[in-house]
């Protein structure tokens, strides 16, 4: 697998299901659909490596199997790379507020599930397989 280079990467982010239900109920004729927001961010080589290390740590420590949070991916990012979490959270929140002005009343307002870019996840998975334990 090729090395990842610094550059722009896309983080898919989603509103929480209960927020989507509130949005659907408040807008006549809109079917329930999970709101996806794509956040593009320039990542340095060290930030990419931090994400790779975070994912390997999560897999080794069964993070996903032991979590009871609806925002398991977001909590992982928030705990391990807080500056990146803050940047992404801010951008996705801006997008949400532009798309749904005056939505502060929605349950879960400001809560999003943030996923890492697929190419970084694939790279981390490949590196995880190659580690001798």
pLDDT tens per residue, range 22-45: 777 665 555 556 788 999 999 999
Residue 14 located in a structural domain: no
* Cα–Cα distance for residue pair 110/15, rounded to 1 Å: 8
Per-residue pLDDT for 108 more than 90? no
* Cα–Cα distance for residue pair 34/132, rounded to 1 Å: 39
Please name the residues in contact with 97: beta carbons below 8 A apart, sequence gap of 6 or more.
Answer: 103
Output the six-digit token pair for 50: 């931090």
Helix (H) or strand (E) run with residue 91 in it: helix 82-99
Residue 10 located in a structural domain: no
Q: How many domains are there within the chain?
A: 1
pLDDT of residue 20: 78
Residue 4 located in a structural domain: no
Q: What letters, b where the CB count within 10 A reaches 16 and e where it falls short, cover 74-87?
A: bbbbbebbeebbeb
Residue 50 located in a structural domain: yes
Is pLDDT larger for residue 21 or for residue 52?
A: 52
Residue 83 located in a structural domain: yes
Question: Which residues span the domain enclosing 67?
Answer: 21-131
Per-residue pLDDT for 76 more than 80? yes
* Cα–Cα distance for residue pair 42/36, rounded to 1 Å: 20
Residue 16 located in a structural domain: no
Count Cβ atoms within 10 A of the Cβ of residue 28 and give its class: 0-12 exposed, 13-18 middle, 19 or more buried: exposed
């Amino acid at each position: 697998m090729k090395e990842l280079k610094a550059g722009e990467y896309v983080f898919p982010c989603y509103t929480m299901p209960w927020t989507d239900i509130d949005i659907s109920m408040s807008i006549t004729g809109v079917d329930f659909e999970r709101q996806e927001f794509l956040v593009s961010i320039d990542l340095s080589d060290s930030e990419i490596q931090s994400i790779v290390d975070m994912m390997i740590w999560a897999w080794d420590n069964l993070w996903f199997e032991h979590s009871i949070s609806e925002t398991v991916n977001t909590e992982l990012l928030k705990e391990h790379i807080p500056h990146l979490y803050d940047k992404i959270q801010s951008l996705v929140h801006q997008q949400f507020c532009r798309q749904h002005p005056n939505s502060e009343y929605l349950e879960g307002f400001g809560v999003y599930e943030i996923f890492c870019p697929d190419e970084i996840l694939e790279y981390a998975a490949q590196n995880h397989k190659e580690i001798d334990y």
